[in-house]
Chains A and B, each alone.
Chain A
Amino acid sequence: MSILADKNTRVLIQGITGTQAAFHVKKSIQGGTKVVCGTSPRHGGETHLDVPVFNTVADAQRACKFDASVLFVPAQAVKSAVREAVEAEVPLIVSIAEGVPVHDMLEIKAMLNGSKTLMIGPNTPGLITPEEARLGIFPENIHHKGKIGILSRASTLTYEAVLETNKANLGQSTVIGLGDDMIVGTDYRELLKRFMDDDETKAVVLVGKANSCYEQMVAEYYADMPHKKPVIAFIAGEALPYGYTIGYAADIVTQGRVTVADKKKIMHDSGMVVVDSMSEVHQILTDLQL
């Protein structure tokens, strides 16, 4: 088992005719991901990467069945692409683009609220269930099928967490980059719950960062969870000046004074194992004797 996507997940690619899509989707298909069709305005009727292309998600839905969509559309087009997917009730969407306007995210969050769609990203490498499904741009050569779930708010640090689980010879059940932006489609809580419900996942590595407010939220959530699996948490950015960016300052103003040290304490008190350096993770995982 795994969460969100496995070898049976049928995947739609929105923006399939772009160059980034061509490079990464080809790799996904070679790795076994079941890509069934794609969309691209004005390319309807063509074939790309051996799958049919439609103008819109609605057109695609009339001809194909799919359970997830990966958005390879540029940042400026993410809002309308999400709208199409939400209207088509696609259960899972993954948006890779970096640079989605934050006001677009306010609208997107309003669309997602009460919908049947779960959105991962934007500004994420996506999600990968090793040897089964790769929805995004994760480098496939570093992942190994296994027992650890990974949730990360810092895209490139996700890879570091993956390497730690490899060092412990535990591998990954599913790896999810939540996205680096101030506001992303789904925060840790819903995904952590799914990992707790997944038989194959024995522990979760959580990668947070200083300038994000989701870590406190998941700590409170984890503290109240009835059935807990171990969570090992790392927060990057202890050296970051307090209130460093506009978004960080906004979090302080709305959430109150939370330094990285405060955040670590909140997470520790919730029952998570909090590490000071990512390189401690593999030893802790080994000691858990999963």
Chain B
Amino acid sequence: MNIHEYQAKKILAQYGINVPEGGIAYTPAEAKRVAQKLSSRGPWMLKAQIQAGARAEGHFLEHEAGRKGGVRKVTQIKNVSYEAAQMLNNTLVTEQTDAKGRLVSKVYVEKFETVKHLFYAGMIIDSAVSTITLLISDVINESIVRIADFQTDKILRIPLKFDAAISDAQIMKILDFLLLDEKYLQSFHDFLGKLLFTFVNLDAQMIEINPVGILPDKKLVALDAKINFDDNALFRHPDIVRMHDDYEDDARKLRAYRSGFYYHEFEEGTIGCIVNGDGLALEAMDIIKAKGYSPACALNVKGGVDKDKIADGIKLIMTNPRVEGIVINVLGGFLRCNLVADGILSASQDVGLNMPLIVRFEGTNKDMARAILEESNLQVTFAEDMNEAVDELVTQMEVNA
């Protein structure tokens, strides 16, 4: 789960990490009031709150939003409401959003901080060695994946333990890498120690402070903040669950999420996939692409749920306006095939099935599942494997078209 920058900064502040003073605004007038309350004089920073990075380099789709991006420095108070009005209720597109962009419903107003030095700090989990890795780079305002791809020596990677403090030697290594003096040792210790504590305590999967600023008094300040939490650990953090911004997810994704399923929509494509398991989803995508088609959406159904939830998930695919054909591949283990068959039946009765549907069942209760669908009068075709299923689907879709 992702949260907004202003929420992440609030969390960091609770953990004793220095962040600029700021407040959230939903209207231009509110933005001005927040700015005046923060400081009698500018400059201020106005930051569009969407859950995607590269906002400063992004652009708005609407003409009236002006040509600037989603992060704006404003020097005079009279311009605060003007700039806020340009951003609010307009659509910001960045390299991390899709082409449709995201609606900006709130801006975060901050006091501008004058800093001497800027750098990137991030924490992630390294699955190869099962540790937390601290990432430091002097390349700022750039996606860390892109830096890793093309300038990998610009990243310093420091393995950290979840149950031990960061050592002086590690901090010295960071200072050397950033060409900074030893006098910053204490403030780096303080800042990164608190960041690690936040990461571990809140079950974060990724924290990025891009950038960290060094203030004239040597203290560090988080000028931006991005936290991604492990969905599997949210049961331990009801306070974070409450921060979830439903408007950031589209309605289908949200409904799937509430049924406990994973739903993903792709930018193009006409085939809806329903599978159980990560691997089958990957295989389905590979096979569909290899046949010159694209998946429109994929639903990953988990085991251990009732047939009503499965039906609800299948309806999401059936009612997606882009979907022209559906392929279902279930290898029953934990999830029993007959539950999926019941789900298909009940979803079809509710919303109607007016497109080709190819089903492949294997494993637990597959014969029972097949019998359920055969006894109904649904137009369902059965396949023996995924290749055959996609071949059959494509043929039927071409006949329909």
A interface vs B, CB < 8 Å?
Answer: 20, 24, 75-76, 96, 98-107, 109-110, 125, 137-139, 141-142, 152-160, 163, 180, 182-183, 207, 209-210, 212-214, 217, 236-240, 243, 246-247, 249-257, 277-279
B-chain residues with CB within 8 Å of residue A24 when the two chains form the complex? 334
Distance between A184 CB and nearest chain B CB, rounded to angstroms: 9
Q: Across the interface, do A253 and B275 meet the contact criterion of CB distance under 8 Å?
A: no
Write the chain B residue with the least CB distance to A104.
B233
Measured between beta carbons, the chain A residues less than 8 angstroms from B331 are: 139, 156, 159-160
Complex contacts, A106 vs chain B, CB 8 Å: 125, 130-132, 162
Chain A residues whose CB sits within 8 angstroms of the CB of B127 once the complex forms? 182-183, 212-214, 247, 250-251
Residue of A125, A138, A210, A246 contacting most chain B CB atoms (<10 Å): A246
Q: Are A250 and B125 in contact (CB under 8 A)?
A: yes
Q: Complex: how many Å from CA A30 to CA B358? A: 33
Number of cross-chain contacts by CB at 8 Å: 176
- Bound CA–CA A96/B386 (angstroms): 25
Q: A102-B203, A105-B130, A180-B278 are in contact. List 10 more A-B contacts (CB 8 A).
A: A102-B230, A103-B200, A106-B162, A139-B332, A139-B362, A157-B280, A163-B385, A250-B125, A250-B206, A252-B148
CA distance A75 to B236 in the complex (A): 12
Q: Which chain A residues lie closer than 8 Å to B303 at the CB level?
A: 98
Interface of B, helix, strand, loop or mixed by DSSP:
mixed
B124 touches A155 (CB 8 A): no
> In the assembled complex, how far is the CB of residue B200 from the closest CB belonging to chain A, in whole angstroms?
7
CB-contacts of B331-371 with A (<8 A): 331-334, 362-364
A180 in contact with B277 (CB, 8 Å): yes
Query: Are the CB atoms of A246 and B279 closer together than 8 Å?
Result: no
Give the complex CA separation of A153 and B200 in angstroms: 26
Contact A109/B135 with A99-B232, A101-B232, A102-B205 known, Cβ cut-off 8 Å? no
Query: What's the least CB distance linking A105 to chain B, in Å?
Result: 7
Contact A257 B128 (CB under 8 A): no
Interface string of B282-307 (1 = CB under 8 A from A): 11011111100000000000111000
Residue of A nearest to B157 (CB): A254
Task: For the complex, give the distance between the alpha carbons of A163 and B384 in Å.
Answer: 11
Interface status of B109 (Cβ within 8 A of chain A): no
Residue-wise interface mask of B (210-232) relative to A, using a CB-CB cutoff of 8 A (1 in contact, 0 not): 00000000000000000010101
* Complex contacts, A213 vs chain B, CB 8 Å: 127-128
Q: How far is the CA of A138 from the CA of B334 in the complex (A)?
A: 8
Q: Are A247 and B205 in contact (CB under 8 A)?
A: yes
* Given A76-B235, A96-B334, A183-B130; A156-B279 close (CB under 8 Å): yes
Contacting pair A154 B304 (CB below 8 A): no
B276 interface residue (CB < 8 Å to A) = yes
B388: nearest residue on chain A (CB-CB)? A279
B136 to chain A, nearest CB (A): 12
From B144, B286, B386, residue with most partner A Cβ within 10 Å: B286
